[in-house]
Structure 1
Amino acid sequence: MRGLIWFRRDLRTLDNTALIEAIRAVSDSQNNEQGLLALFIVTPAQWKEHCLSPMQADLIRQRLLTLTTELKALNISLAVETVDSFRDCPSLITELCQRFDIERVFANAEYELNETSRDALVEEALAEHDIPFTLCSDKCVFMPGSLLNKQGSYFKVFTPFKKTWLQNFSVEQSVVYKPNLLDFNALYDPEFEYNGILDYPTVDSVQWHDNTKDVITELRRFAIERAPDYQQDRDFPALDGTSQLSPYLAIGMLSVRQCIARLLNGRHPEQLNEGEQTWLSELIWREFYQHLIYFEPKLCKGRAFVPWSENICWQGENAHLEKWQKGETGYPIVDAAMKQLNQTGWMHNRLRMVVASFLTKDLLLDWHDGEAYFMSKLVDGDFAANNGGWQWSASTGCDAQPYFRIFNPIAQGQRFDPDGSFVKQWLPELQTVPTKYVHSPWLWADFPSLDYPDPIVEHKQQREQALQMYKDAKASGS
């Protein structure tokens, strides 16, 4: 049998369910015409529509080069093809199947609306040629639909979802599987030789790994050195307290099972300490948002989860959106976070909540603007997690922060960056500001001498306006 393994956001050979299933099916076939071809499809127009960041595009580009080498070690060749958008995938895949006499296609399921629509069209096109299309459950420990509440519906609140997740979890579900080496020649065509060029803007992702060995080393180091203290360190951006593994999860260089297996290291979840359990919760949050977009496709259409929040009349100014994007709001913790995002493609998780709250509840700007900007910059951009985080912060989402809880950007800075180390790292113009004033430098007597802007809004005033804005929207009903 000849098979095709279609890679998407699962760019790894280790613990890749579809790859393992494809190898097993081809190896078990009885005919002599055995072979397996790997495929990755670049879709520039679709990527642009989805606001794929140039830095994530570059990480994908680099990863495809190393993935090519890893697959060759398994006697599998990787074809990297470019079409405009998802709608062009069915014809491309059927053409490849005909060229290489492919009898079966394998891929790991994705849950976003455009992706599920694409896969349905591919399945339909392949069926016309009697070619089965096998979608494997890989992205989550529990596939969407396998965890339901007592009413038989999906969970709309995280805590009971997590409780059910833990009740159903067994250590066997975190077993990491390695693919077997194929003992036949790879399907290959010289025109598929990948040169590392993408027809899409890229920004250098050199600070992030593209090699599996390096990523696994980072995972092991985090699990041993930082996970035990994760609960107490994760909220302080000046500390190296988070995993920074999200870029690798986002493009599938790592599976969630690999993360959980390394964290558990043979233990059961209840045997983890508080810090380790907190990181496990973050992985379960990631899964919660994947389940949510599966059951609520409206989220992929730009709709809010909470119906009444569609009535919010955003009152902010477009000029303020640009100031927020550039990190020129006059609020140091917000500006430092945005500088970190713009320069590295990554932002500390606590600060993602702070800047999102500031955009929606201080600047009174639509969360969609922030969601899109994050995706256009984040090296770890993941639609479900990004959408879930923004709707949580904007109080429009599932299990969201209540609208009357509004982060004070000064207090957040004082609490989580008490000596201003993080702020001064990203805003060197504030190096001379005393600690007492570092999160409200306009109160310092020498502030006029600094090359730093005045606050573009007054938090207390904006807070009252935000509360009224949300109250009016809620009163208008769904």
Structure 2
Amino acid sequence: MRSLVWFRADLRCADHTALHAASRVSTRGVVALFTICPDQWREHDWSDVRVDLLRRTLIDTSRSLWKRRIPLLIETVDRFADVPARLLEVMRRHECEALYMNAEYEINERRRDDAATTTVRGAGFAVHTCTDQVVLAPGAVQTGKGDFYSVFTPFRKSWIARVESGGVPAPLPAPKKQDDPGIAPDEVPERIAGFEADPPAAAHWPAGEREASKRLDRFIEHAIADYKDRRDRPAVDGTSTLSPYLAIGAISPRRCLHAAWRANGESLSGDGGAATWISELVWREFYRHVLVGFPRVCMHRAFRPETEAVGWREADEDFEAWCAGRTGFPIVDAAMRQLHETGWMHNRLRMIVSMFLTKDLLIDWRRGERHFMRHLVDGDLASNNGGWQWSASTGTDAAPYFRIFNPFSQSRRFDPDGAFIRRYVPELASLDAKAIHDPSALAPPERSTLDYPAPIVDHAKGRARAIKAFERIRTA
């Protein structure tokens, strides 16, 4: 029997559930397939830097597969709706009898996979869908009433209990070399239509499974012990920077969890750095659980329906100033410039800038969510949507509407000497550690020498306006 393994957001050879399963039973070998869907990716607001990382990782994955004599075929179709027929065509062309794939959880991806399963099974072939993008499939842990969790803390407790009861899963090995199937791998295209080739931010993100493994090993060895204390400081190298590689599947969450579990003394709980990072991995699982249990969040809808009535401002000039990193709030501007320069933003800063947009400026969270997706190298619907709705107080387990970060206070707390601001807002580099957080407080003569805007909003007034907007829907 020959099997087709359909690669998607799982671009690696090691610890690949579908590939491992297919390799064990396919007596005539395995053929791999990746489908490029440019129109669909643009509709989903994928960024140039994400697509570039994906394309370069495809090259790495193809080489790794071919060392095992598994050819990676590349098929380009415009949209997900075109995929099922193309899958069937490839299976027939190469005499494959079974299709293996790892489950994806966004609603359009689930509909695509359902259609593919119907088409392939209808033609008489077997279909096997594996759990790989998460440690526990959405719905594997539920409330006492059998519902999907909508609050993180009880989800985390149940998730940890379930994983511990079955044992923390060990990563799966890469498949062994198979006999030459007589099928050559396809060339990965040098560019993908509609996306910039080699965007400037790409230099920050070397591609491939080996790079992802190096980052994990380095983080476990040098940084995880101090993660709890250093993770909120954007100027220090205190996080794993694995999110881009998790987003495209160059490394598995299972491997990350197993490494952190071992670093934590073979425990999933505690209050140290490793346990804190494990909780972040569980947040990632939780947001995928939410996608399946509450699919409206995949369709530009608020998790809390009543918040659809919030009177968001249009405020295009304010939005453009936020996008450009010209708000007059240095920590916000530094964060937005980091996003545009590197394709990535520190997690603490994601919370600061998203709350600033949705609360200080009272601009619809969906505009910020889309801007992030269009620029992030780790653009991921579940985590991006979950984070934005948390900050906007529209989501599951969200921040209370009256909890509003003061950008100046956040800046002083998490970038106390202004090192991060100096890196990305060089026009403020000459200011001392006190003045750099709020240049608007300088005396007019000194302030006038800076090529830097005044704050576009008074924080206290913006905060009061946001609270009023949310209180209005509570009494409606």
TM-score under structure 1 length normalisation: 0.96
Contact 2:325–2:333 (CA<8 Å) still a contact in 1? Answer: yes
Partner of 2:460: 460
Q: Does 1:184 align with 2:179?
A: yes
**2:116 corresponds to 1:118:** no
1:88 counterpart residue number: 82
Q: What is aligned with 2:355?
A: 357
Q: Provide structure 2 residue ranges, at least 5 long, that are not aligned to the other structure.
A: none
Q: Does 1:401 align with 2:399?
A: yes
Q: Indicate the residue corresponding to 2:221 in structure 1.
A: 224
Distance 2:415 2:325 in 1: 17
- What's 1:474 paired with? 474
The aligned counterpart of 2:23 is 23
Contact map agreement 2:11 2:209 (CA 8 A) in 1: no
1:98 to 76, 92, 102: 92
- Worse overlay, 9-18 or 179-188: 179-188
Q: Tell me how far 1:187 sits from its aligned partner.
A: 4.9
- For 1:78 and 1:208, locate their aligned partners in 2 and report how far apart those are by CA, in whole Å: 23
User: What's 2:13 paired with?
Assistant: 13
Task: Return closer, same or farther for 1:71/1:200 CA change in 2, 3 Å cut-off.
Answer: farther
Following TM superposition, by how much is the alpha carbon of 1:316 offset from its aligned partner in structure 2, in angstroms? 4.4
Aligned residue in 2 for 1:2: 2
Question: Are the counterparts in 1 of residues 13 and 175 from structure 2 also a CA contact under 8 Å?
Answer: no
Aligned position for 1:333: 331
1:428 and 2:423 matched: no
Aligned equivalent of 1:30: none
Equivalents in 2 of 1:195, 1:201: separation in Å?
Answer: 12
Cα distance, 1:195 vs structure 2: 4.0
Distance change (3 Å), C-alpha of 1:92 and 1:22 = same
Shift of 1:173: 3.2
Residues 188 and 289 of structure 1: CA distance in aligned 2, closer, same or farther (over 3 Å): same
116, 140, 148: which one pairs with 2:142? Answer: 148
Equivalent position of 1:320 in the other structure: 318
**Cα pair 2:231 2:238 within 8 Å, conserved:** yes
Match of 1:214 in 2: 211
- Residues 14 and 175 in structure 2, CA contact (< 8 A), matched pair in contact too: no
Shift of 1:272: 5.8
Structure 2 residue identity aligned to 1:373: H
Q: Distance in 2 between matches of 1:180 and 1:468?
A: 58
Following superposition, the deviation at residue 426 of structure 1 comes to: 0.3
User: Does 1:261 find its partner at 2:255?
Assistant: no
CA distance in 2, matches of 1:147, 1:187: 44
Structure 2 counterpart of 1:447, one-letter code? R
Residue 243 of structure 2 is aligned with which of 232, 241, 246?
Answer: 246
Of all paired residues, the percent bearing the same amino acid is: 43
In structure 1, which of residues 402, 413, 416 is the aligned counterpart of residue 414 of structure 2?
416
Q: Which secondary structure state, in structure 1, belongs to the residue aligned with residue 437 of structure 2?
A: coil
TM-score, normalised with respect to structure 2: 0.96
User: Equivalent residue of 1:174, what SS?
Assistant: coil
Q: Deviations over 1:92-128 (max 9, x none)?
A: 1111111111111110000110000001111111122
For 2:314 and 2:413, locate their aligned partners in 1 and report how far apart those are by CA, in whole Å.
27
**Is 1:71 the counterpart of 2:68 in the alignment?**
no
Q: Secondary structure at the match of 1:305?
A: coil
2:57–2:209 Cα contact (<8 Å) kept = no
Tell me if structure 2 keeps the 8 A contact 1:4–1:105.
yes
Amino acid at match of 1:244: T
**1:354 deviation in Å?**
0.2
Q: Counterpart amino acid of 2:41?
A: W
Q: Residue type matched to 2:447 in 1?
A: F
Task: Give me the whole-angstrom Cα distance separating, in 2, the residues matched to 1:371 and 1:128.
Answer: 38
Distance 1:321 1:224 in 2: 41
* Amino acid in the other structure paired with 2:175: N
Misfit runs of 4+, over 6 Å? none
One of 337, 343, 352 as aligned partner of 2:341: 343
Q: In 2, are the aligned partners of 1:23 and 1:179 still within 8 Å (CA)?
A: no
Deviation at 1:179, TM superposition (A): 2.6
1:290 to 277, 288, 291: 288
User: How far, CA to CA, are the matches of 2:470 and 2:270 in structure 1?
Assistant: 40
CA distance in 2, matches of 1:237, 1:194: 36
Which letter maps to 2:387? G
Structure 2 CA distance for aligned equivalents of residues 462 and 383 of structure 1: 28
Number of aligned residue pairs: give it.
469
SS in 1 for 2:203: coil
Q: What RMSD over aligned residues (CA atoms) do the two structures have, in Å?
A: 1.4
3-state DSSP class of the match of 1:38? strand
Amino acid at match of 2:88: T
Matched letter for residue 385 of structure 2:
N
- Residue 168 of structure 1 deviates from its aligned partner by 1.5
Aligned to 1:175: 170
Q: Shift of the alpha carbon at 1:74? A: 1.3
Residue of structure 1 in register with 2:191 after alignment: 197
- Paired with 2:415 and 2:182, the residues of 1 have a C-alpha distance of 55
Q: Partner of 1:31 in structure 2?
A: none
CA distance in 2, matches of 1:456, 1:316: 15
Question: In 2, Cα distance between the equivalents of 1:272 and 1:265?
Answer: 13
The answer to whether the Cα contact below 8 Å between 1:367 and 1:391 also exists between their aligned partners in 2 is yes
Name the SS of the counterpart of 2:64 in structure 1: helix
Deviation at 1:264, TM superposition (A): 2.2
Gaps of 5+ in 1: 28-33
Partners of 2:406 and 2:60 in 1: CA distance? 44
